[in-house]
Structure 1
Amino acid sequence: MGQLTARYSRPIEGGWIDARRILTMAKTVWGRAAGAMIIGMVLSLAAALPAMAQNVRVTVNGTPITDLQIAARVKLFAIEGNKTGSRGATEQLITEALQVEEAKRLGVTVSNAQIDEALLQIARNMNVSQDKLVALLQQGGVSTETLQDRLRAAIAWNAVTERAIMPQVQISELALDQQAAGQVQAFQTFDYILKEIIFVGAGSSGRSGQANNYRSKFAGCDSAVDLSLGYTDAAVIDVGRRHATQMPEAIAKELAGLNVGGITKPRVVESGVSMLAVCEKTQAEDLTFLKSDLRAEQGNQALQGEVSTYLADLRARAKIIYN
């Protein structure tokens, strides 16, 4: 199960990067953690930490990390299924101390409202109230503050990523053009104007029969609406212009084999049974959508590398003292 910090560190936007989509990341990770939290929670962790003096175990550029912080993070790890124990918790807290310190250096602040919103989003994703989320954490011996600390560090680090690291990531457009051109296939070299004919409703077998009957009588886009009037709950939708690279491979291959006036075989969709009619078809190689996918893939890989290097440099320059 992924950890919250790791998820926050690799956001995605408009193709590849968005450090602003933090709450979605929290939602994703805690959606996965919910089952383990509710079903597999170890009852022995329910006991609160005994009262004890806070002994400093590590200092990071003067910032102390105590045994109580480490023990609390280990309990959060137990809920997540992370088995790295005290050592893993200590290293994560060191990393977070470096991230928060760097965020402060760059003038980044994280408000309590941002933390509250993140907690609320986690609760919504789990389909529980925020009070119930707090109660579930407490059942695992985890205070709300422990999760808040992690969220605060993750939100701050995303801001650092956006301000200081993302500008260093460069993607070659020429390389993307060359790679996309090498990937395009013959069935992906067409541009279409399409209409969708939908037979709305449940009972896909019955609806498929009517759709096939419609298809056997189809005589082109101009008469698509008039023909649909002879069927119950049949709708004709103007899809407009679409390039083959925008569509699933199976549909793009079927459309490539059709001429203008052709119509695809019925497919069961969420709303009923669907077919696509070809109103116009032209030869057109458009690499835009292939390049978008490639940019997302390469951008994320490049960003991850830059983030790792940046963090490693912070750690190399830090004064970390283990007690």
Structure 2
Amino acid sequence: MAKALWGRAVGAMVVGALLSLAAAMPALAQSVRVTVNGTPITDTQISQRVKLFALEGNNGGTRGAQEQLITEAIQMSEAKRLGITVSNSQVDDAFLQIARNINVSQDKLQQMLQQGGINMDTLKDRLRTAIAWNAVTEQAIMPQVQISDLQLDQQAAAGLQAWQGFDYILKEIIFVGQGSSNRSGQANNYRSKFSGCDTAVDLSLGYTDAAVVDVGRRHATQMPEAIAKELAGLNVGGITKPRVIESGVSMLAICEKTQAEDLTFIKGDLRAEAGNSALEGQVAAYLENLRKNAKIIYN
């Protein structure tokens, strides 16, 4: 009799548990808002991302949070396809870098997240995606970026200023020591007597702590703009006005000056700008194509 009662009690408990589980299943299903390539995005993830937005001052709200999570799911799916993995240590390093960027400790950053009701994994998941997507960019997108050298040459030539078209052989005359006003006075006196590079060293011997340094060949684009412009207005045998530097007071003397268009440095800046612009466009197009082909199911 006792065994029968026990059996019925256990049976009732099992049935009750199964009924409770069945009742909970719709609620669990409703917590998944979107599925991206088989990866679920839940209400909890979205609400957590909204809280992270609030901490950052981002007004994207629920819709913005959901869209960001969809994009990240697509990015992680592509990283997985390419065999890219991100270690926990990489994520921890990125977390530490964020703390350093805002001048707080890791513990303080974690405390800030907790005070905002944000689980640490919310931020770390986003960091993991960012690291993975950077790897996708380097591996799959950057090799597609092509920069035309001919176009860069044309842009550099068109942007070349008159003062940038000179090649120099220079000497630097330095009056070493503290007290810039006293040093500048001596430098100006030297400058008034300067008659060319051939006598630069001999002239310096009449001054205390004056040194003449062979700078060698420099193109205008290798020097600060203000100095290059001043040199452009001088002839061979000319010398610039004294300027205060860390070690004292300095002047540059022109030993040779020739017309020579060196586009190397201008092209370097243009290449960086063009490369960044082209890469941004390629990344956007690549991600847009991934989204078009992604299986996104809204619940």
TM-score by length of 2: 0.78
Residue 82 of structure 1 corresponds to: 58
The 2-side partners of 1:205 and 1:142 are apart by 59
SS of the equivalent of 1:110 reads: coil
Residue 125 of structure 2 corresponds to: 149
AA aligned opposite 2:104: V
SS of the equivalent of 1:192 reads: strand
| Deviation at residue 196 of structure 1 after TM alignment | 4.0
1:158 pairs with 2:134: yes
> Quick check: 2:76–2:133 contact (8 Å CA) kept in 1?
yes
Stretch of structure 1 that moved more, 87-96 or 176-185: 176-185
AA aligned opposite 1:184: L
The 1-side partners of 2:46 and 2:157 are apart by 52
Mapping for residues 268-279 of structure 1, pairs under 5 Å: 268=244, 273-279=249-255
CA deviations 1:141-176 (Å, max 9, x no partner) are 333322211111111111111111111111111111
Stretch of structure 1 that moved more, 194-203 or 208-217: 194-203
Residue 286 of structure 1 corresponds to: 262
Residue 314 of structure 1 corresponds to: 290
The partner residue of 2:37 within 61, 68, 91 is 61
The 2-side partners of 1:164 and 1:70 are apart by 29
The 2-side partners of 1:254 and 1:163 are apart by 46
CA deviations 1:88-127 (Å, max 9, x no partner) are 1111111111111101111111112212222222333333
The 2-side partners of 1:228 and 1:55 are apart by 85
TM-score by length of 1: 0.73
Stretch of structure 1 that moved more, 125-134 or 196-205: 196-205
1:137 pairs with 2:113: yes
Stretches of structure 2 that go unaligned for 5 or more consecutive residues are 1-26
Residue 97 of structure 2 corresponds to: 121
CA deviations 1:163-203 (Å, max 9, x no partner) are 11111111111111122122222221111233444556776
Residue 104 of structure 1 corresponds to: 80
| Deviation at residue 321 of structure 1 after TM alignment | 1.6
Residue 167 of structure 1 corresponds to: 143
AA aligned opposite 2:229: K
AA aligned opposite 1:257: G
Aligned in 2, Cα 1:315/1:253: closer, same or farther, shift over 3 Å?
Answer: same
Aligned in 2, Cα 1:279/1:78: closer, same or farther, shift over 3 Å?
Answer: farther
The 1-side partners of 2:231 and 2:249 are apart by 17
1:263 pairs with 2:239: yes
1:297 pairs with 2:273: yes
Aligned in 2, Cα 1:254/1:71: closer, same or farther, shift over 3 Å?
Answer: same
> Quick check: 1:194–1:239 contact (8 Å CA) kept in 2?
yes
Residue 207 of structure 2 corresponds to: 230
CA deviations 1:69-92 (Å, max 9, x no partner) are 112222222222211111111111
Aligned in 2, Cα 1:173/1:129: closer, same or farther, shift over 3 Å?
Answer: same
Residue 24 of structure 2 corresponds to: none
> Quick check: 2:194–2:203 contact (8 Å CA) kept in 1?
no
Residue 193 of structure 1 corresponds to: 169
| Deviation at residue 269 of structure 1 after TM alignment | 5.0
Residue 7 of structure 2 corresponds to: none
| Deviation at residue 209 of structure 1 after TM alignment | 4.0
> Quick check: 1:228–1:236 contact (8 Å CA) kept in 2?
no
The 2-side partners of 1:230 and 1:201 are apart by 12
AA aligned opposite 1:74: V
Percent of aligned positions that are identical: 76
The 1-side partners of 2:113 and 2:212 are apart by 51
Aligned in 2, Cα 1:98/1:280: closer, same or farther, shift over 3 Å?
Answer: same
> Quick check: 1:260–1:278 contact (8 Å CA) kept in 2?
yes
